[in-house]
Amino acid sequence: MKHEDKHISSYSSLAIVLAVLLFLTAFSVWITGFHFGAFTVAVALIIACVKVATVLINFMHLKFENLFLKLLVTGVFVMFTLVIILTFVDYYFR
Amino acid sequence: MSISGSETQVSYLDYQGKHKGIWSWLLSTDHKRIGLLYLYAIIVFFFVAAFLGLLMRIELIAPGRTIMEPQTYNGLFTIHGIIMIFVIVIPGLAAVFGNFFLPILIGARDVAFPKLNLFSWYLYMIGAILGVLSQFIGGGAPDTGWTFYVPYSVESSTNVIYALTAAFILGFSSILTGLNFIVTIHRMRAPGMGWMRMPLFPWALYATAWIQVLATPIVGITLLMVIAERVLNIGFFDPALGGDPVLFQHLFWIYSHPAVYIMILPAMGIVTEIFPTFSQKPVFGYGAIVLSSLAIAFVGYFVWGHHMFTSGMSYNARWFFSFLTFIVAVPSAIKVFNWISTMYGGSIDLKPPLLYAISFIFLFMIGGFTGLVLGSLATNVHTHDTAFVVAHFHYIIFGGMGFAFFAAIHYWAPKMFGRMYNFRVANIAWVLNFTGFNLLYFPLFIVGLQGMPRRSYDYLPQFQSGHVLSTVGAFILIAGLLLMVYNLVRGARKGEVAPANPWKGVTLEWKIPSPPPHENFDDIPVITSKPYLFGNNSDNK
């Protein structure tokens, strides 16, 4: 972890992140009115992933961490994506 | 490396903190005391579950009713599985030996979050006690098997909710322990201990901890979904409610197959510590062992479908999961090659820890090869849900994790308790354990191939000889286990005082007194070389 003084985020940037999260929540509700067929779950998961990434980067201070930790967290996202794809391979080819 | 001043502290066993007596244990945040709390709890629960297993073996000594009714048998194999898997095998090595030795091996005074560590133990105890109680209270012992397959787990009138809640709470404990270990390894390694200077048991714990943190929440949510389905009639998995039972199997095995690696990776880490010490030789292929640990953790995440080949999964998914299952055998084989090569040309000292470590390789290899039979599509269809699976599973879990646990306790007991045990009695117990284990489980391969179904209360007379042998093996194994525990307990209480380094080991735990001081090190050591540097082995520098 780097120096403590670099961990202070301004109120304005935190407010912007909050607004983005609220917008994405409303967006995820609004988009349920559209039918994407086989991609319905994928669309919902993509929006959820963007929200999670926003929280991780800003509220959980991932942006202050070193490249190694950022790569580890990215790796977790990649792994979960592969798990979900593998599960859906079964569904769509069953 | 330099270790200084650790002799000036009192041992963690004699340390008097804020609390006295039993409270100095129940409220201790010392990683070593918490490790022992896990050890004592695991020993108690192990003998409870082993006793249930012995009752099952007595029931199966002859076809038809022997000592219990079929529904009692269903409850026994369910609770035996739940306790063994969720209470003993998954937390076992990491919670006991990881807690005790991880900080010491990386040159730290404690884990990153000591209070969270104690909280994990309390969660563990609540979950474990709830799991055992589910056998005795309310609507009868759960009868779903430890896998909780729907739709039966939704429909069964037994205490399934208690068992599901117990597994959920135990999962929380596992996640918190994993999180603690990841942060400890990232943040608290001694100065100079780069990643490639870290001993291999911490590496194994690191790979394990990632699985604990990433996979356990999936099963936690899944178990909650089953509870929601039972209580609120939400149709997640039950076809009668519009759900998909195969989805449950996916979600369950997405966790529960990596859980096998939660069990086996620390076991591999432990024997990797033992082989160099008892060969007095650097570990062969340090980098390959590190990479294979990470590869097992990563690839092991994507092979869960091999539990579902006969569940109605799509053909494309089946061959893909079968292919990946064969891939995961590669890093496991790399490790075996490295362990054998570590011993090759070494000064081998066949003490009890090495006997158990060599047994681990033998039993794990049998479990691994028979796993390939189950990972192959065609042979899986024949052997699925037979006693062959039971035998394979126990060779991996008990032969692997169990014998590694025995290896670890014989290796580190002098350090943990500051006293030696009797080698002769330990060797006799090993003979009983090894013989009893093989006699108990090997016949199940044979009767399984002949068609004996698993989880079956009754069977055709043609399977009886195999079952009789197996039950005799169970009694021999129990005798060996009791003798082993007696010897270790007697050693810990009345054995000869152990020197700081009875095995001529070279990792950090052998450079501090036995038992370790309260805070391990007065001054945090500075690491200047790779681990496993024996004598004049300049090639390891």
Q: B385-422 pLDDT, tens per residue?
A: 999 999 999 999 999 999 999 999 999 999 999 999 99
> Tell me: the pLDDT tens digits for B145-154?
999 999 999 9
Residue of B179, B316, B324, B327 best to disrupt the A interface, most CBs of A under 10 A: B316
B315–A93 C-beta distance less than 8 A: yes
Contact with chain B for residue A79, Cβ under 8 A: yes
Return the residue in A73, A86, A92, A93 with the most chain B beta carbons within 10 A, the one to mutate for interface testing: A86
pLDDT digits (tens, 9 = 90+) for A16-31: 999 999 999 999 999 9
Tokens of B432: 């009983």
Nearest of B284, B286, B123 to residue B201 by alpha carbon: B286
Pairwise CA distance, residues B251 & B220, whole Å: 10
Chain A neighbors of B317, CB-CB under 8 A: 86, 89-90, 93-94
Q: Is the pLDDT of residue B138 over 90?
A: no
Cα nearest neighbour of B318 on chain A: A90
The overall average pLDDT reported for chain B is 93
Mean pLDDT of B292-314: 91
| Residues shown for chain B | 541
Task: Give the residue-averaged pLDDT of B314-318.
Answer: 89
Q: Are B480 and B406 in contact (CB under 8 A)?
A: no
Distance from CA of A12 to the nearest CA of B (A): 31
Q: Give me the mean pLDDT over the B418-442 stretch.
A: 98
Q: Is the pLDDT of residue A6 over 80?
A: no
Paired tokens of B306: 């091999």
Q: Are B527 and B193 a contacting pair, CB within 8 Å? A: yes
**CA distance readout (Å), B315 to A92, A94, B254:** 11, 7, 18
From A92's Cα to the closest Cα of chain B, the distance in A is 8
Task: Please give the structure tokens belonging to residue B195.
Answer: 């990643």
Inform me whether the pLDDT recorded for B5 exceeds 60. Answer: no
CA torsion through residues B32, B34, B35, B37, sign = positive
Specify whether the CB–CB gap between B239 and B245 falls below 8 A: yes
Instruction: Output the pLDDT for position B3.
Output: 62
Q: Which residue of A has its CA nearest to B317?
A: A90
Q: pLDDT tens-digit profile of B156-188?
A: 999 999 999 999 999 999 999 999 999 999 999
Q: Which residue has the tokens 């033998």?
A: B362
Residue A10 has pLDDT above 90, yes or no: no
Tokens read off for A81: 């994506």
A8: left (phi over 0), alpha (psi -120 to 50) or beta: beta
> How far off is chain B from A90, nearest CA to CA, in Å?
5
The residue count of chain A comes to 94
Q: What is the pLDDT of residue B70?
A: 93
User: Touching check for A66 and chain B: CB below 8 Å?
Assistant: no
pLDDT band at B276 (very low <50, low <70, confident <90, very high): very high
| pLDDT above 90 (res B139) | no
For residue A88, the model assigns a pLDDT of 85
Quickly state the pLDDT bin for B282 (edges 50, 70, 90). very high
State whether A90 and B313 contact (CB < 8 Å): yes
Distance CA B37, CA B41 (A): 6
Find out whether B180 and B212 touch, Cβ atoms under 8 Å.
Answer: no
Is residue B477 within 8 Å of residue B484, measured between CB atoms? no
Alpha carbons B130 and A50: distance in angstroms, whole number: 38
Counting residues of chain B whose pLDDT is more than 90, the rounded percentage is: 86
Structure tokens at B290: 């590190």
Cross-chain residue pair A82–B305, CB shorter than 8 Å:
no
Q: What is the DSSP string of B320-369?
A: HHHHHHHHHHHHHHHHHHHHHHHHTTS-----HHHHHHHHHHHHHHHHHH
User: Coil, strand or helix: which one is B102?
Assistant: helix
Name the residue in chain B with its Cα closest to that of A76: B214
How confident is the model over A37-62, as a mean pLDDT? Answer: 91
Whether B87 contacts B131, CB under 8 Å: yes
For position B216, what pLDDT does the model report?
93
- Which tens digit of pLDDT belongs to each residue from B221-254? 999 999 999 999 988 998 888 899 999 999 999 9
Half-sphere exposure of B516 (CA within 13 A, CB side): 28
Instruction: Give dist(CA B475, CA B57) in Å, integer.
Output: 9
What does the pLDDT look like over B323-369, one tens digit per residue? Answer: 999 998 899 999 999 999 999 999 999 999 999 999 999 999 999 99
**Other C-beta atoms lying within 10 Å of the C-beta of residue B15:** 16
Q: What is the pLDDT of residue B538?
A: 44
Q: What is the pLDDT of residue A90?
A: 87
The predicted structure's pLDDT at residue B372:
93
Question: What whole-number distance in Å separates Cα of residue A85 and Cα of residue A81?
Answer: 6
Check CB contact of A67 with chain B, cutoff 8 Å: no
CA distance B168 to chain A (A): 21
pLDDT at A74 over 60: yes
pLDDT band at B541 (very low <50, low <70, confident <90, very high): very low
pLDDT for residue B536 = 56
Distance from CA of A84 to the nearest CA of B (A): 10
B79-100 residues labelled b (16+ CB within 10 A) or e (exposed): bbbbbbbbbbbbbbbbbbbbbb
How many angstroms separate the CA of residue B502 from the nearest CA in chain A?
A: 39
Cis bond leading into B151, ω under 30°? yes
Chain A within 8 Å of B305 (Cβ-Cβ)?
Answer: yes
In whole angstroms, give the CA distance from residue B180 to residue B157: 38
B258 token code pair: 């990596």
Task: Tell me whether residues A93 and B246 touch, CB distance under 8 A.
Answer: no
Q: How many C-beta atoms lie closer than 10 Å to residue A17's C-beta?
A: 16
Query: What ipTM score was computed for the predicted complex, to two decimals?
Result: 0.83
Q: How far apart are CA B298 and CA B46, in angstroms?
A: 29
Q: Which of B314, B318, B324 to mutate to test the interface with A (most CBs of A within 10 A)?
A: B314
pLDDT-based confidence at residue B8 (cuts at 50, 70, 90): low
Beta-bridge partner residues of B526:
B2
Among B106, B304, B112, residue whose Cα is nearest residue B204 = B106
Cross-chain residue pair B317–A89, CB shorter than 8 Å? yes
Which residues in chain B (183-202) have CB-CB distances under 8 A to chain A? 186-187
Span B23-52, mean pLDDT? 96
- Asked if A8 has any chain B CB less than 8 Å from its own CB, the reply is no
Q: Is the pLDDT of residue B537 over 90?
A: no
Residues of B with CB below 8 A from A80's CB? 214
Cβ–Cβ under 8 Å, residues B530 and B540? yes
- CB–CB contact A89 B312 (8 Å): no
**H, E, C per residue of B129-145:** HHHHHCCCCCCCCCCCC
Walk me through the domains of chain B, giving residue ranges and CATH numbers. 6-540 (1.20.210.10)
Instruction: Decide if A14 touches B, using CB distance below 8 A.
Output: no
Neighbouring residues of B172: CB distance < 8 A, sequence distance ≥ 6: B123, B127, B220
Is the model's pLDDT at B540 over the cut of 60? Answer: no
Rounded to whole angstroms, the Cα distance separating B390 from B224 reads: 27
Decide: B308 and B250 in contact? Cβ < 8 Å.
yes
Identify the pLDDT of residue A42.
Answer: 87
CA distance B73 to B77: 6
The DSSP 8-state label assigned to residue A7 in this structure reads: G
**A93 to chain B nearest CA, in Å?**
6
The CA distance from B86 to B532, in Å, is 33
Residue A37: pLDDT band (50, 70, 90) is confident
Query: Is B286 in contact with B532 (CB distance < 8 Å)?
Result: yes
Closest-CA distance of chain B to residue A91, Å: 7
Tens-digit pLDDT profile for residues B38-82 = 999 999 999 999 999 999 999 999 999 999 999 999 999 999 999
By Cβ distance, the residue of B187, B298, B316 closest to A89 is B316
The mean pLDDT of B21-48, rounded to a whole number, is 95
pLDDT in tens, B77-123: 999 999 999 999 999 999 999 999 999 999 999 999 999 999 999 99
CB B363 within 8 A of CB B395: yes
At a CB cut-off of 8 Å and minimum separation 6, what does B201 contact? B97, B101, B102, B105, B266, B269, B270, B272, B273
